[in-house]
């Protein structure tokens, strides 16, 4: 392997520590700590594990964690009423509804009901529009974490060629918007892109978020490229990424492992977004670039 490993776990720990450092000053001014509300409908095992880890990280950062666990048969009206309650709660700065929801619920309607200024997941169309137009808003946590890792590795991204493989609203599209805002030349590709290796061989940055294990091959890459693997696929009981790691690591200049790369950044950026939301809601100054 010639590529440098990008240690997302270590970077995320530093980000969580920086978030925690800002909490006491906020509390001194406002008399409270930032609060994150997480809604988990039903008992999906994977979601339950994720929610527990979010709650633990929130409390470790000195912030308040509010967990709401409606039954799996909760009605659409009841769930919307819960979101309305959280929107109105002054102690809640961020609201996260854990997906997927049970099939009888309309997830889009629920996400649209969240106050955009408490939408720390960055999924609301208002925040998507703010991102594309360059206005202050909230960026989805995974692409925000990817950008932080890229800037930590490469510094100024201006002028670099970037290919984002994947076009989801959660990762692919916001990732492309973030890289465009950093003056990269961005191509959005996907599983149906014709001659995908042609595009990747010219890319200084590759972000793989297509949801297919070992999809991106090492011989598709430009030598020395920086590769961010967002994929989390479970194959034969093991977690694998969207990039064929072994072949890619022999070509790339730097690459994120799976696990231990992008994954830890997602929760760390959720805490960051919650801290930012609290400061904005209370009108307390915060140098957001410092975190």
Q: Span 184-191, mean pLDDT? A: 97
Q: What is this structure's pTM?
A: 0.95
Please give the Cα distance from 233 to 239 (Å, whole number). 5
49: confidence class by pLDDT, cuts 50, 70, 90: confident
1: confidence class by pLDDT, cuts 50, 70, 90: low
290: confidence class by pLDDT, cuts 50, 70, 90: confident
Average pLDDT, the chain: 96
CATH (residue range 141-264): 3.40.50.720
Domain ranges of the chain: 30-116, 141-264
Please give the Cα distance from 162 to 248 (Å, whole number). 16
- pLDDT at 104 > cutoff 70: yes
Share of the chain above pLDDT 70, in %: 100
- pLDDT at 48 > cutoff 90: no
What positions carry a catalytic annotation? 54, 98, 121
The per-residue pLDDT for range 156-169, each reduced to its tens digit, is: 999 999 999 999 99
236: confidence class by pLDDT, cuts 50, 70, 90: confident
The reply to whether 30-116 and 141-264 are identical in fold is yes
Q: Which positions ≥6 away from 98 have C-beta within 8 Å?
A: 38, 39, 40, 41, 47, 50, 51
- Please determine, looking at this structure, whether the domain spanning 30-116 carries the CATH number 3.40.50.10860: yes
Structure tokens at 251: 């070509």
């Amino acid at each position: 392997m010639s590529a440098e490993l990008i240690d997302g776990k270590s970077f995320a720990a530093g980000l969580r520590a920086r978030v925690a450092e800002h909490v006491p000053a906020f509390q001194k001014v406002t008399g409270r700590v930032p609060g994150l509300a997480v809604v988990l409908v039903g008992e999906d095992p994977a979601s339950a594990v994720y929610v527990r880890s979010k709650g633990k990280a929130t409390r470790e950062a000195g912030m308040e964690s509010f967990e709401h666990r409606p039954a799996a048969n909760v009605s659409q009206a009841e769930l919307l009423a819960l979101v309305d309650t959280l929107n109105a709660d002054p102690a809640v700065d961020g609201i996260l509804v854990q997906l997927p929801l049970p099939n009888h619920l309309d997830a889009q309607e629920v996400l649209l009901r969240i106050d955009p200024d408490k939408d720390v997941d960055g999924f609301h169309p208002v925040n998507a529009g703010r991102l594309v137009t360059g206005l202050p808003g909230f960026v989805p946590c995974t692409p925000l974490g990817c950008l932080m890792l890229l800037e930590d590795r490469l510094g100024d991204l201006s002028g670099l060629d970037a290919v984002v493989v994947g076009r989801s609203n959660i990762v692919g599209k916001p990732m492309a918007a973030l890289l465009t805002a950093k003056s990269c030349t961005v191509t959005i590709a996907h599983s149906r892109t014709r001659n995908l290796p042609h595009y990747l061989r010219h890319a200084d940055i590759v972000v793989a978020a297509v949801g297919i294990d070992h999809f991106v091959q090492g011989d598709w890459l430009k030598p020395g490229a920086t590769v961010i693997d967002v994929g989390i696929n479970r194959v034969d009981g093991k977690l694998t990424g969207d990039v064929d790691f072994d072949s890619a690591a022999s070509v790339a200049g730097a690459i994120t492992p799976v696990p231990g790369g992008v994954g830890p950044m997602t929760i760390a950026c959720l805490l960051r977004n919650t801290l930012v939301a609290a400061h904005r809601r209370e009108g307390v100054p915060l140098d957001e670039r410092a975190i």
